[in-house]
Structure 1
């Protein structure tokens, strides 16, 4: 057979395979909720702005309603939109929609050994252990509150050292927040210049940025191909490996001083559990599980809160009257002679409402992490087969016009009643919902209140431009909404 004949046969074979694949996609699509027509191989990627995929999904939400189907490559994904549909899926049908979908930017490194990217009994056991251990070390209790208060004072000292010079607060927020989860995982905080802490926060911050760009989106869709192509996505595994080395160093130290009768932290408890479960044939506690579980905790315990703080203070600089009103409430309830405490929250409805509005408006994790349907089920009249990937579009909840009067505006009144008291709004899901809700939710809520109040008690953030010139548009939108880079002057009060 000559070269020309072989080429023709190869092309015929490729076209036939493509046609069969596309035929399967179209048959599959007819059974799923409506959505835009996909193309072979790329699905609906040509209709999505990959650098701002959240806005693209919101546009399709306006066209197709509260549940629709898109194809990321050849993978069909169910997009859930709006509070009512989100509650129905993630809470009312929590079992059916409670699986974790593939997310290669994490999964291709953790290989399913950690907490966040597991399913079934393995996930349940690791999550139960993590929740119990974190609670035993103070999550949601007075002991962890004292850690946050102490860490907040270290941050206050660092801010004072800036001497009101133009400062990028990013690294300060990342280091102080990361130190809280590090103290629970490793047993002690790090000095702000410690290379281990800097490795953790710099690697996590870089990965969060990459995962929120076109590179992150493309890697999630075509990881098998992207692994061999150059680009920013190649740094993801490198950054994870740097964190792994810090964890291994901590593990070595812990093994040398480990006392199963006197656990000091999460790592000690996991090491003890590894020894107890060693002969269990279905054991989920082993070295890779330890390393990847801690990776998950460090990422989740660092980036979401630190990014919310960074976004929050940019918002407060744009709306200085709101910041002033918060400071008035802090001065009245707390004063200047002690640190704010969680007990103060019930007496500070306006401050509490502003923090909740920052979470809604900033919308730091707009897509949640992907879910997967765990069994054949019915949702809003559609038969959804087991294994269907689900994208919970949290932005559509946070900007739901049926639950927020003017969602495009920053308005603390979204969380206040007519009497000036704090009002809970169920259409706020910054930590997700249902069985996959963030296991560190109570810790994060405590951190946000104590950091915002402590910082505003001591400082006023001054922008380098006029407030009306501040642009709050995210610079990247994928895994996260990345706030614009900014510098400000941190002025002592």
Structure 2
């Protein structure tokens, strides 16, 4: 209120200065332009009135216009230009205060924002105090209810934290809230292209094309399951081959990233990341990880401010990886076009991969004379978005699953027991057709997605017209979002939401409908069906084969970057401990097979695991049963391995199925076991 009065006083003084007879030549020379000179003099007069000195004026002191009060003579050290700057700042701040006050009358309640910086100090404090962005925002939910407003700088954002209300707004009225808010940082090098940040007809065309193309590739059908399992087998065959070198230790993050990345890359480029291309994948991963370093608060900073010399270093750090990724996919597109030009690839509507289908669409539009939105730059951005959405979210969720199961071994054992039962002790792979009979695995995956909540803050939508949400007005043009991280931590729907408890869905304490990791409404993840298939098949078949353990204390189930746009868990190494596909094999019995004393022997571990999985490594059998060795000289652990195999298989015929074993070897094995 005081600022408003001061501005009115300044404007009054400006009018008074216009009729004064003082010579303005000095101010005109020293301050740029007669209008600014009058404004500077008006600022001086207003300042003197505030000081109860009657009035004041600009005088020439030392060759510069200086504000001097007529009565007290103060202000001799203050230039008129400085007074002008001061009052322009006051005018600007007053404008922001009045604007905020007027907008707050038409927005849901929330913490009181400060001019220009909004609620950023409160958000930062709450996030630091609670240990994460999602938990920080949750503190405002507890104070202001299921819909509230936070100001990111001068920009208001409305947050919905209730499932039923989110369904009403984002699903039933989804058309009104389908457009993304223009977050300038996300549009760096994108030019409003792609399927994540684009809007209007462009977004509709490209989302529809992506969905149609992925369905043609078998998304949600058996062919997709086959592609996932083919890559799964190839990746884990490589692990078993390297088992003697690694001692059974697995770098979880790299394994899961490479597995999921190879699946998505086959859909996009018809190429998997074999041993010869693992370094290429690592480079892509580094670039994509760099694009995720945007903080939630940074998304509210205007681009003009990001490009100032104070923040340009940060702008460059964010923009550079996006450029590198676009250049990278551009090279792959060029290679594909060259193959088409050479006649090695024939473009069809179905295509062998996303790039071929897109190039066919471009060619069709050109042939039909249609000036469509499909061009090479649009293809680059679509590929970038599909990579981010298809690889990073799924691999991160799987990593969270590993961490949570390492910290909750009793849940892991319940899942393994269920899987072994329905697959006849692991004699076949887990299939998507098994979903109806795996309630424990299903509940575990749902709980992993809920607790991981890998997007602490969703990408905002824009409210295009004045509306009312939960009885509170929401004016047009503001950011709007259903916060799935808050919805999935709602104490009204989840008792003790911070705990990992899959059984809550089995005993009807909670409903999985309230777990919405893929979003709501028209902007829900377009790869949801594929992601669900990957999570079920990959996690289920890992647990079917292996009991996961880690040396020492498991890593904590907390985010390593709680203030970023994606919640990444800590990395870990796990050991494929007791991978016999039967939970009746005790840890002590397994240890007797794989250890000499307290020391684990890698080749014995490999032998035991292969025997338990009905896989006999012929070279190891030849080694342990060569003519140079007699029964007494053979390692006791090897004998125990065959004993375990017989317990599980029932007969040597089952164990050595499809293997060509000489009668002499069989006699020696039987003699040792007896």
Q: TM-score, normalised by structure 2?
A: 0.68
Contact kept in structure 2, 1:199 and 1:242, CA below 8 Å = no
Contact kept in structure 2, 1:69 and 1:76, CA below 8 Å = yes
Deviation at 1:167, TM superposition (A): 4.5
Which of 104, 120, 134 aligns to 1:45? It is: 120
Which of 305, 312, 316 aligns to 2:405? It is: 316
2:256 paired with 1:173: yes
Determine the structure 1 residue equivalent to 2:317: 235
Which of 528, 544, 557 aligns to 1:441? It is: 528
Per-residue CA distance 1:167-192 (angstroms, 9 max, x = gap)? 43212211111111111111221225
Determine the structure 2 residue equivalent to 1:339: 429
Per-residue CA distance 1:241-298 (angstroms, 9 max, x = gap)? 2221221122112212332337211111111111222476662111111110111001
Matched ranges for 1:127-206 at <5 A: 127-160=207-240, 161=242, 163-164=246-247, 167-192=250-275, 194=277, 195-206=279-290
Matched ranges for 1:13-162 at <5 A: 13-49=88-124, 52-160=132-240, 161=242
Determine the structure 2 residue equivalent to 1:460: 547
Contact kept in structure 1, 2:251 and 2:572, CA below 8 Å = yes
Determine the structure 1 residue equivalent to 2:353: 265
Counterparts in 2 of 1:456 and 1:384: CA distance versus 1, 3 Å: same
Deviation at 1:397, TM superposition (A): 1.1
How far, CA to CA, are the matches of 1:269 and 1:276 in structure 2?
Answer: 11
Unpaired runs of 5+ residues, structure 1, are: none
How far, CA to CA, are the matches of 2:252 and 2:466 in structure 1?
Answer: 47
Contact kept in structure 2, 1:219 and 1:226, CA below 8 Å = no
How far, CA to CA, are the matches of 1:74 and 1:280 in structure 2?
Answer: 45
Which of 465, 472, 479 aligns to 2:557? It is: 472
SS at the partner of 1:295?
A: helix
RMSD over aligned Cα atoms: 2.2
Which of 376, 395, 413 aligns to 2:466? It is: 376
Contact kept in structure 2, 1:156 and 1:458, CA below 8 Å = no
SS at the partner of 1:76?
A: strand
Counterparts in 2 of 1:459 and 1:252: CA distance versus 1, 3 Å: same
Determine the structure 1 residue equivalent to 2:363: 275
Contact kept in structure 2, 1:186 and 1:267, CA below 8 Å = yes
Contact kept in structure 1, 2:194 and 2:378, CA below 8 Å = yes
2:337 paired with 1:249: no
Determine the structure 2 residue equivalent to 1:224: 304
Determine the structure 1 residue equivalent to 2:477: 387
How far, CA to CA, are the matches of 1:446 and 1:250 in structure 2?
Answer: 27
2:414 paired with 1:325: yes
Per-residue CA distance 1:315-355 (angstroms, 9 max, x = gap)? 00000011011111111112333322111111111111111
Is the deviation greater in 374-383 or in 121-130? 374-383
How far, CA to CA, are the matches of 1:45 and 1:21 in structure 2?
Answer: 15
Contact kept in structure 2, 1:244 and 1:291, CA below 8 Å = yes
How far, CA to CA, are the matches of 1:489 and 1:154 in structure 2?
Answer: 19
How far, CA to CA, are the matches of 1:404 and 1:413 in structure 2?
Answer: 12
How far, CA to CA, are the matches of 1:290 and 1:98 in structure 2?
Answer: 22
How far, CA to CA, are the matches of 1:269 and 1:245 in structure 2?
Answer: 20
Deviation at 1:403, TM superposition (A): 1.9
How far, CA to CA, are the matches of 1:400 and 1:179 in structure 2?
Answer: 36
Q: TM-score, normalised by structure 1?
A: 0.92
How far, CA to CA, are the matches of 1:443 and 1:423 in structure 2?
Answer: 25
Deviation at 1:491, TM superposition (A): 3.1
Determine the structure 2 residue equivalent to 1:400: 490
Contact kept in structure 2, 1:459 and 1:492, CA below 8 Å = yes
How far, CA to CA, are the matches of 1:180 and 1:102 in structure 2?
Answer: 31
Counterparts in 2 of 1:226 and 1:488: CA distance versus 1, 3 Å: farther
SS at the partner of 2:272?
A: coil
Per-residue CA distance 1:28-73 (angstroms, 9 max, x = gap)? 1111000111111111000012663212210000000011111101
Deviation at 1:488, TM superposition (A): 2.9
Total equivalences in the alignment:
484
SS at the partner of 1:457?
A: helix
Per-residue CA distance 1:444-472 (angstroms, 9 max, x = gap)? 000000010111122222123335xx421
How far, CA to CA, are the matches of 2:313 and 2:410 in structure 1?
Answer: 43
Matched ranges for 1:343-382 at <5 A: 343-382=433-472
How far, CA to CA, are the matches of 1:206 and 1:104 in structure 2?
Answer: 17
SS at the partner of 1:110?
A: coil
